[in-house]
Chain A
Amino acid sequence: MNKSIAFWSILMKDMKNYYLKPPNISWGIIFPISWTLMFFVRSQSAVDIRGILPGVMALSILFGTTSMLAVTITFERKSRSFERLLLAPISLNILMLAKTTGAILFGVINAFIPVFFASFLADLSGINWGAAVLSVVLIAVTSTFLGLFIAVSVSEVFEAQTFSNFFRFPMMFLCGLFIPIPNLPAVVRPLSFLLPLTYGADILKTAINHTGFIAPWLSFIVLLAFTLFLFLMSTRNIKKKWIY
């Protein structure tokens, strides 16, 4: 059997049914604009667009992917249409990769919306685009798998949202986007290094503003390790909880 047909169909179905719906497209545009405005209000003067770009990009990905995946999987699970996928003759890994690829693409696109706006307002020359794109993809993958991990752990959509915030908000404040990690209190600083967004945001900072402080190769390895860990944990949980 040609499993790529099943993979592609699941991805296209999700794109059409969830990601390309007008509310989600507007979310992708409104969210980065809101963040930029928030920084603008906070600084009470001209905003350093290039300075805030890594943060806005990272948070756009984090919120976009975790929200979408937590909702779509929980929703399909509740309506039992997810059972149809579990009963298809494709491996769980292929199924979950198909389910998450849509969210990953959604996250990547979300990340470049602020870049698009910033290109009109700031000079973006000198950015290491290769590293920036790679880090965007890795942040999208880890955030999506975090969303998957959350979706597999709950049974209701509202639980998924609540549980997501439990991860997202600490990550937002501890990943070094608002307060540089070296300036954080020594007690919470180790926590920062347990969060995947710390590494993704740091690569973005290095790629865009050369202000990161972790070696990029180390961040890439850590992000890959997080990706693998979250995916394996999620599929393990699915096998344990949904194929009971």
Chain B
Amino acid sequence: MSTTIIEVNQLSKHFDDFKAVDEISFSVNNGEVFGFLGPNGAGKTTTINMLTGLARPTSGSILIAGEDGIKHIKKVQQLIGIVPDESNLYDEMSGLENLIFCASLYGLEKQERESRAKQLLDQFGLANTGKRSFKAYSKGMKRKLTIAAGIIHQPQILFLDEPTTGIDVESARQIRKLLQELNHYGTTIFLTTHYIEEAERLCNRVGFIVEGKVVRIGGLSELMQDAQQDNIVEFALESNSTDLQKALEKEFPKTKITKLEDDKIRISSPVRIELMPFMNFFAQAQVPVYEAKVIHPSLEDVFVKITGIELSKMKKEKEGRKK
């Protein structure tokens, strides 16, 4: 049975009249990857800042690993690792020195911090560049080192704010793999992202936050099931065979037939679609079938359905802000 490691109740943060976070409540289970998704200014970073002790809540409560996250934040900070949205290590220091320094902030003894720093450089593929100064690192390397610094003290929970924003595809892929490994070995991960596909690949559960309010929380399959109104199957047929539409509609009156492209037909039905009758129909009509695919809604469809926000617009805004 999963236990709750983060419990947030009626948490709010107001800046004068502006409600950056407005009475949000959620919980994160021990050992899971929980993603917070939302557009710019939704309150993701403010929430992470309140959870990690960089912002004081206006009201509400935070319980992290059984400790009061507001009253005993210093105790909580010993248990958590934090990776901010910017790689904020020290430019003048080498990769190895940065990790050793970060380990010392958590009270690790000299020998332990040195061996842990070297181990992480190795694990993150930075062993050959450990003596290079941080300012000489590429963006992807900086990001990896910042994550390594976040886990130097082997925290129970790792908070990541936009872990792969602004870095190349390969580095982002490596970082996702490292996060999956970390989670596999028991670290609970709380991340914010505006990359839906990242949340889809990494998270067990996600929460959508819009204008300071959590509008929906759930497991990926649960959310997708909710978004799925119809069962959909797509058939790829031989070109110019799609004039079968009318015959199909006559044969299968309870289904909705849509012609997509020259060679594709979409079948929608409120009940589960059995494939064999369709295959028999195409065989009788002597139409070759090249592909039959069950279509599931993506997390993006779920996000758009729940929040009404177009992702392309959200990404453009975010990239504009980063530049």
Binding site for B on A (CB under 8 A): 1-3, 5-6, 8-10, 13, 17, 79-81, 83-91, 243-244
Contacts and interface: CB of A to CB of B under 8 A. Distances in A.
Interface in B31-67: 49, 52-56
Contact of B55 (A9, A10, A244): A244
Nearest to A9: B104
Interface of B: 49, 52-56, 74-75, 77-78, 82, 84, 86, 88-93, 101-102, 104-109, 149
Contacts of B104: 5-6, 8-9
B89 A81 contact: yes
23 contacts: A1-B78, A1-B106, A1-B107, A2-B109, A5-B104, A5-B109, A9-B104, A13-B93, A17-B90, A81-B88, A81-B89, A83-B54, A84-B88, A84-B102, A84-B105, A86-B53, A88-B106, A89-B105, A90-B105, A243-B53, A243-B54, A243-B56, A244-B49
Nearest to B85: A80
Contacts of A86: 53-54
A2 B107 contact: yes
Given A83-B54, A243-B54, A88 B105 contact: yes
B208 to A, nearest CB: 25
A87 B52 CA distance: 7
A13 B90 contact: yes
- Which interface residue of A9, A80, A86, A89 has the most chain B CB atoms within 10 A? A89
B88 A90 contact: no
B88 A6 contact: no
B55 A243 contact: yes
- Which interface residue of B55, B93, B106 has the most chain A CB atoms within 10 A? B106
A6 B91 CA distance: 19
Lowest 8 A-B CB distances belong to which pairs?
A9-B104, A1-B107, A88-B105, A89-B77, A80-B88, A89-B78, A2-B107, A17-B92
A90 B54 contact: no
Nearest to B73: A89
A168 B49 CA distance: 36
A65 to B, nearest CB: 21
Given A1-B106, A9-B101, A80-B84, A87 B53 contact: yes
Contacts of B91: 79
B150 to A, nearest CB: 10
A20 to B, nearest CB: 12
Contact of A81 (B75, B90, B106, B109): B90
A86 B84 CA distance: 13
B140 to A, nearest CB: 19
B111 to A, nearest CB: 12
A76 to B, nearest CB: 8
